[in-house]
Structure 1
């Protein structure tokens, strides 16, 4: 009986711990299991101003707007949904795991993978909510690569993405 309960207890504890890690801004995150992948430069299409990550299947917006456009979270989501850019119209605001896939924890200021041309060491919105406090949403600070939560009415930069995330 104990052999059946213990794995379930450990699983529920680790799931709860993961949620706590995600919402505590002061807590350090574990290094990416993709450390070897993180060091490989992502290819950039200069004419379309996009960066493609073949490992995740995502295409990232990488034009001057990613350094200049700041919005609250609701407007950031609408901006990405309405974006017609580089011949595509299926852009969206990335989830925290998607945006975190371009973070390089070995770098600082900016903590972003090589390949991006338009980089701002600042907070960028994700579409992921803060599950503990619904008036906040998650964002990533590209100064450090850490995940934080801000009020949804707060202002952060926006970098849109398209594709089907795989990893």
Structure 2
């Protein structure tokens, strides 16, 4: 891990990438710092409304795991690289979209809305749960 971090620093990259391990075979990225494993499979990163997003994640099976869920807003923020000016997903991910992704976090004063992040430029915003946004699932690594 230290060699990766040193290489990233020497190349002028974001040192945060060193916390992530990409597994192209399983279609996942594991965040070793936060103990999260992320879906990174191009066939499963799709659009849907908020209820579909929750359902997709609950039914997802990747890398022989079936305990996937829709990430909360803080977990989504953890895979952003705000040093980039566009497509701000951490470089460890192969499959990114410069659009909004759903979080499981409902807006406090409006249960009809949930938080989402635009991975194109990094804006977080609320969206009506009927809107169609991208879905990326996560699981806790035990």
The two structures have a TM-score, normalised by structure 1, of 0.72
User: Once the 2 structures are TM-superposed, how far is the Cα of residue 38 of structure 1 from its aligned partner?
Assistant: 2.7
The structure with the largest alpha-carbon Rg is 1
| 1:40–1:114 contact (8 Å) kept in structure 2 | no
What is the distance in 2 between the residues matched to 1:49 and 1:134? Answer: 33
In the alignment, is residue 42 of structure 1 matched against residue 20 of structure 2?
yes
Once the two structures are overlaid, the 10-residue window that deviates more, 82-91 or 41-50, is 41-50
What's the Cα RMSD here?
1.7
Q: Secondary structure at the match of 1:148?
A: strand
Matched, 1:140 2:117: yes
The answer to which structure has the higher helix fraction is 1
Inter-CA distance 164–43: structure 2 relative to 1 (3 Å threshold) = closer
SS of 1:135's equivalent? Answer: strand
Alignment of 1:51-62 (within 5 A): 51-62=29-40
Structure 2 alignment gaps of length 5 or more: 1-13
Q: Retained in 2: the 8 A contact 1:66–1:119?
A: no
Render the CA deviation track for 1:22-79: whole Å, top value 9, x for unaligned. Answer: xxxxxxxxxxxxxx75353621011101001000000000011354x10000010011
Higher strand share: 2
Please say if residues 27 and 40 of structure 2, whose CA atoms lie closer than 8 Å, have aligned partners that are also in contact: yes
1:89 aligned onto 2:54: no
> Which residue in 1 is equivalent to 2:135?
158
Aligned residues: 129
